Amino acid sequence: SLYFDFCASTPLHPEVYDELMHSTKQIFANPSSVHDMGFEANLRVEEARERISVLLQVMPNEVIFTSGATESNNLAILGVVRAWAKKTGQIPHVLTTQVEHSSVYNCCKQLVAEGVEVTFLPVDRNGVVSVSTIEESMQPNTVLVSVMHVNNETGAIQPIQEIGKLLRNKPDIHFHVDGVQGFGKQSLLIEDIDLYTLSGHKIGGPKGIGLLIIKETVELAPLLYGGEQERGIRPGTTNVPGVLSMATAIELTLKNREETMRVLTTLHDLVYSKLVTIPEIIMNSALPPLSSPHIINFSYIGKGITSAILIGILAKQGIVVSSQSACSSKAKASRVLMAITNDEMISSSSIRLSLHESVSLKDAEYLLDSIEKMVNHVKTKNKFELL
Ligand code: PLP
């Protein structure tokens, strides 16, 4: 099969694999133990934290390891809101967008159910939120703005740096960014960001490890209660192999960023320029610089069939793609595309291609051939033959 679902997960980078295997076998002691072997494990974890902090230009104690981006997003949002509510006794207000990943969106929905005020801001046809709308939607009780860097379904790039500038003089409002899909593609300074989420398995690292940058000025309530690990913010025995491999994955991802983007841009331009010429294909991803080149989302609206059928036709040709994020693939129409297009047909017939630096031009050409075959297949059959 040819895999084009790199936003759902990436293969382990070979160097990360070596690190993971070696540390899983060799560094098995608990880093919180007070004996020498525990001390050694802790040293390695702290070295990894230090390396990451240098690469991300934050302080080492601002790096908190978690089980992945879902946990980091929940910790950032629930943590800030709960700490503020407890401190002030007032109802907090959160500003976010309609196109966030489900780990932010559903977390905010839960807050609404608990009586917190949340504004889900709309986006334009390119999937981008407007900075002035954010400014206009602020309230005296706004405690958090949560906006993702790069959208996992369409690749749309949000104006993170501008939002950061807007919030620079508002120390009472914390700014959280889900950086999962932007990291290693779009450069980003986290200077004006208070909370920043990353996931290991999206950048050539293993599953079950992620991090949340929590700037020193942020007051945050933990989600879990237990030991003193991660300054008590995230108790539980440290995932030592995960942490060490995550540090290596971050290092390699940043080191290779320019070359990766060069390859991705070439692949993107080849695929995008062909897809726009196919009748009844509607592009849901804008062109760079509004959108990141590793994600191309389109809908095929011929015959009004759904994503699942289109994906099935492509699968028969050995092509692996998805429609929405893996976390919400059971939903019919994509919530993200509904927010962008307000069109049920487009939102339920989408395909997300996500690319990687390991994809060859030949693979991309085979992908395009397969999509053309899919279109011809749909055209020559009646709707009931396809279902
Ligand atoms: N945020 C975004 C933008 C994502 O694409 C994903 C993965 O689908 C997540 C968060 C969740 O990541 P994890 O699998 O590490 O929980």
- The answer, yes or no, to whether residue 95 has pLDDT greater than 70, is yes
Residues in the chain: 387
Q: Tell me, what's the pLDDT at 384?
A: 79
pLDDT score for 385: 82
The answer to whether residue 113 scores a pLDDT higher than 60 is: yes
Cα of first residue to Cα of last residue in the chain, in angstroms, is 23
pLDDT confidence of residue 304: 87
Q: Is pLDDT at 112 greater than 70 in this prediction?
A: yes
Average pLDDT over residues 109-125: 98
Amino acid at site 101? H
pLDDT of residue 331: 58
The residue that leads in pLDDT, 210 or 332, is 210
Average pLDDT score, the chain: 96
Q: What structural domains and CATH numbers belong to the chain?
A: 2-8+257-379 (3.90.1150.10)
Return the CA Rg of the chain: 22
Measured CA to CA, the distance from residue 279 to residue 272 in angstroms comes to 13
Tell me, in angstroms, the distance from the centre of ligand 1 to residue 6's CA: 12
* Residue in 319, 320, 338 with CA at minimum distance from that of residue 328: 338
Note the pLDDT of residue 298. Answer: 98
Is the model's pLDDT at 278 over the cut of 70?
A: yes
The confidence score (pLDDT) of residue 302 equals 87
Burial degree of 200 (CB within 10 A; 0-12, 13-18, 19+): buried
d(CA 143, CA 140): 9
Mean pLDDT of 236-245: 98
Residue located via tokens 């980003």: 188
- Evaluate if residue 262 carries a pLDDT over 70: yes
Tell me how far apart the alpha carbons of residues 242 and 121 are, in angstroms, rounded to a whole number. Answer: 35
- Of 7, 107, 108, 327, the catalytic one is 327
Q: Give the mean model confidence (pLDDT) for residues 280-286.
A: 97
Pocket of ligand 1 (CB under 6 A): 7, 68-70, 101, 103, 148, 152, 178, 180-181, 199, 210, 325-327
Instruction: Please tell me the pTM assigned to this model.
Output: 0.97
Predicted ipTM of the assembly:
0.99
Average pLDDT over residues 23-39: 97
The Cα 65–Cα 281 span in angstroms is 42
pLDDT of residue 325: 63
Residue 322 amino acid letter: S
pLDDT in tens, 316-352: 999 999 997 665 555 589 999 999 999 999 999 999 9
Query: CA 377, 378, 380, 382 torsion: positive or negative?
Result: positive
Tens digit of pLDDT for each residue in 354-381? 999 999 999 999 999 999 999 999 999 8
351 phi and psi angles, rounded to 5 deg:
-130, 135
Centroid of ligand 1 to alpha carbon of 224 (angstroms):
20
How many whole angstroms from 208 Cα to the centroid of ligand 1?
11
The predicted pLDDT at position 364 comes to: 98
Portion of the chain with pLDDT greater than 70, in percent = 98
What per-residue confidence (pLDDT) applies to 330? 57
Q: Per-residue pLDDT averaged across 258-269, rounded?
A: 98
Whether residue 327 lies in the annotated active site: yes
pLDDT given at position 231: 95
Ligand 1 centroid to residue 378 C-alpha, Å? 32
pLDDT tens digits, 37-93: 999 999 999 999 999 999 999 999 999 999 999 999 999 999 999 999 999 999 999
Task: Give the residue, out of 7, 74, 103, with the most ligand 1 atoms within 8 A of its beta carbon, to mutate for a pocket test.
Answer: 103
Who contacts 315 (Cβ-Cβ below 8 Å, separation ≥6)?
none
What is the C-alpha to C-alpha distance for residues 6 and 111, in angstroms, rounded to an integer?
A: 31
Helix (H, G, I), strand (E, B) or coil at 199: strand
- 149-198 pLDDT, tens per residue? 999 999 999 999 999 999 999 999 999 999 999 999 999 999 999 999 99
